[in-house]
Structure 1
């Protein structure tokens, strides 16, 4: 019997990394208990309640990450010699000793974590994107030495793992051409819609909390420059004379583009046409998709993203950037546009706002796509990858 571990070294507080880890954890828990023993190591006590639904055969290990671990993470990020640390770690590092003591044949690290390569255990790592290389014009992935730190991180991850998970064929190609790992060690595991999207009931108090406009296009994204809110607002301003009842609804935390977003809203007089709601809990998200005319996603980052998957499950039509792996991700379930073109964004919004038949077609195609790739298919693919990695 093979022992497969997963390390959850972050709090279960939402966000893409958390949702991805949840999907991986669910997939591991579904592996045949006659062939696999699953070990879950977690560093935040809030994970304990979330593990209650796991099979009784799943071993649970609580580990403590303290100031020493934070210092080690920082040192490795800023250039402490990795080879020296990997020699020292089994003797001086409690977390390393704990994971090694579990004697797993493979550890899965779902969060692009430093521990993926800093702890000398057989590891399956994850690379969500390499946008610091392909979109380095954006400071959030390149400024203040971040580019160099990311380069160091991904080179180490490729060198010291048994395999690497990526989200798409585009992601696989980018990883291979950037860091030259053996192609047989790079495995495509497309994202899957989070489990919370399966909830169909309207959350209690939803209308009172949000007071949404009747006709709106939805964009769930933190306010980073690469998320491209400003061009989206300029497209709305262009459409206002033609579509005066069309609104945009934004959810997401304030980041480095937030001030420019507010300035753009003020400059174009869009305050009555744009609703900014900040952070929204996961349980409320499905209702936004169900009420929206459409999802729009003018991001410059990929290869792929989670919101299009959420939209497809909810039957929400969409338009997204025609770059990287996004066309591959959505197939015929979305309109595609150039995210650098305000006119192109505006034309996609116009079609979504005015063509009922188009919205019905896109929604149906999205539901069909969602039915072909859901948690069971995600789990089956991960099982295949784990078998391959263990055989190597």
Structure 2
């Protein structure tokens, strides 16, 4: 593959949604590597409506030119379509060939309002829907939020030539929930692109830095309700009654955008279940330190009740870590080596699996497992980057 391509990428997430920002970073790194391998002259521009947080500015600036578009007052913007006009000028002036991802809600990221196609001009583009959590767990959303997501997906599906999904599971959901949608689907499974410095760092030092015992389980999820810390803590309570006391380190933001009531309830549960002394709530920590804790831990636990394609699972795969997973269809699709599954809302099943894992596995890192996983990851990253590059150039079609 040769020739030139100017790729425009829309920023997703940040500290409030680390998974979105990691998705963007992995996409940029994998695509850049694929372009270098193929001799494609790739230029990349990252569009954002907000100043990037320093941690993301530092990581993303080497990968793309960062262009901040002005966000106007909401009512004025909606009336005059100022965000749409700003993006149109930026795409035209820079000669962007392909823009990705636009989602069902682009107002907070770029100030865009549907319809979006008219402002994109000659720039090809694709949508992205991370998951259908609101359809599977509607009880976690307000009526207004449910309408906002459904209306946005309907509009995106009517305008986008193609919508990208990170799993076959989400693509099937799309065809089930929007059977008459015009937009085609394209499945692009992402993977974690490793930083070689991760494997040279001292995992034991990170464990000691956070005051953790030598052996611990790791949960790396924001404290949103669907991440299902409640079932994990209930399982720890059951194990405590049986004299089994695994230590658990939890990384991830302790803020829930829906409100703090759930987080405070979880804290109270730790006390009521008498397991507070075994659980370390570390909050959001630097990415490199989180990776070292994952290398050091006995196993990774991912109890989530909804995922589009779990970044945590891909991190664990890269590092050769055992994983305990809720029995989601998408987790089965990801199917990391040696995974142990449990029914997502069954504390009893999770307790049984945790007891087995805790009793059998040592602390990490495991050099042999890491080396095997790194070899597999190199091939996966190459395939991910190549497939997206072909898609961006129009050489790979959607279903």
- What TM-score does the superposition give when structure 1 sets the normalisation length? 0.81
User: Deviations 1:330-379 (Å, cap 9, x if unpaired)?
Assistant: 2543011101111111111011111249x99x968983895375321210
Q: Which moved more, 1:217-226 or 1:94-103?
A: 94-103
- For the residues of structure 2 that align with 1:164 and 1:5, how far apart are their CA atoms? 17
Partner of 2:391: 385
User: Deviations 1:34-54 (Å, cap 9, x if unpaired)?
Assistant: 655534043436677556644
> Shift in Å at residue 215 of structure 1?
2.3
Q: 1:212 to 1:308 in 2, by over 3 A?
A: same
Partner of 1:24: 27
- For the residues of structure 2 that align with 1:10 and 1:341, how far apart are their CA atoms? 33
Q: Does 1:133 find its partner at 2:121?
A: no
- For the residues of structure 2 that align with 1:128 and 1:311, how far apart are their CA atoms? 20
Q: 1:155 to 1:195 in 2, by over 3 A?
A: farther
Partner of 1:338: 343
Q: Contact 1:216 / 1:247 at 8 angstroms: preserved in 2? A: yes
- For the residues of structure 2 that align with 1:110 and 1:284, how far apart are their CA atoms? 31
Q: 1:37 to 1:284 in 2, by over 3 A?
A: closer
- For the residues of structure 1 that align with 2:222 and 2:133, how far apart are their CA atoms? 16
> Shift in Å at residue 7 of structure 1?
3.2
Q: Contact 2:207 / 2:213 at 8 angstroms: preserved in 1? A: no
Q: Does 1:98 find its partner at 2:100?
A: no
Q: 1:332 to 1:197 in 2, by over 3 A?
A: same
Aligned ranges for residues 353-368 of structure 1 at < 5 Å?
A: 353-356=358-361, 367=373
Q: Contact 2:14 / 2:20 at 8 angstroms: preserved in 1? A: no
Aligned ranges for residues 1-392 of structure 1 at < 5 Å?
A: 1=3, 3-9=5-11, 15-30=18-33, 31=35, 37-43=42-48, 44=51, 50=59, 53-54=62-63, 60=65, 62-68=67-73, 71=75, 75=78, 93-109=85-101, 114=106, 115=112, 118=116, 120-121=119-120, 122-138=124-140, 142-143=141-142, 145-180=144-179, 185-196=184-195, 199-200=198-199, 201-202=201-202, 206-207=206-207, 209-254=209-254, 255=256, 256=260, 257-356=262-361, 367=373, 370-371=376-377, 374-388=380-394
Q: Which moved more, 1:324-333 or 1:34-43?
A: 34-43
- Structure 1 residues without counterparts, runs of 5 or longer: none
- For the residues of structure 2 that align with 1:253 and 1:136, how far apart are their CA atoms? 22
Hey, which bits of structure 1, 4+ residues long, moved more than 4 A?
A: 9-14, 32-37, 45-52, 70-73, 110-113, 181-184, 362-366, 389-392
Q: 1:125 to 1:38 in 2, by over 3 A?
A: farther
> Shift in Å at residue 311 of structure 1?
1.1
Q: 1:111 to 1:23 in 2, by over 3 A?
A: farther
Q: Contact 1:233 / 1:264 at 8 angstroms: preserved in 2? A: yes
> Shift in Å at residue 110 of structure 1?
6.5
Q: How big is the alpha-carbon RMSD for the aligned residues of Structure 1 and Structure 2?
A: 3.5
SS at match of 1:304: coil
- For the residues of structure 2 that align with 1:159 and 1:389, how far apart are their CA atoms? 23
Q: 1:183 to 1:266 in 2, by over 3 A?
A: same
- For the residues of structure 1 that align with 2:377 and 2:32, how far apart are their CA atoms? 21
> Shift in Å at residue 269 of structure 1?
1.2
- For the residues of structure 2 that align with 1:183 and 1:197, how far apart are their CA atoms? 42
- For the residues of structure 2 that align with 1:147 and 1:233, how far apart are their CA atoms? 29
SS at match of 2:139: coil
- What TM-score does the superposition give when structure 2 sets the normalisation length? 0.80
Q: 1:303 to 1:53 in 2, by over 3 A?
A: closer
Count residues with an aligned counterpart: 370
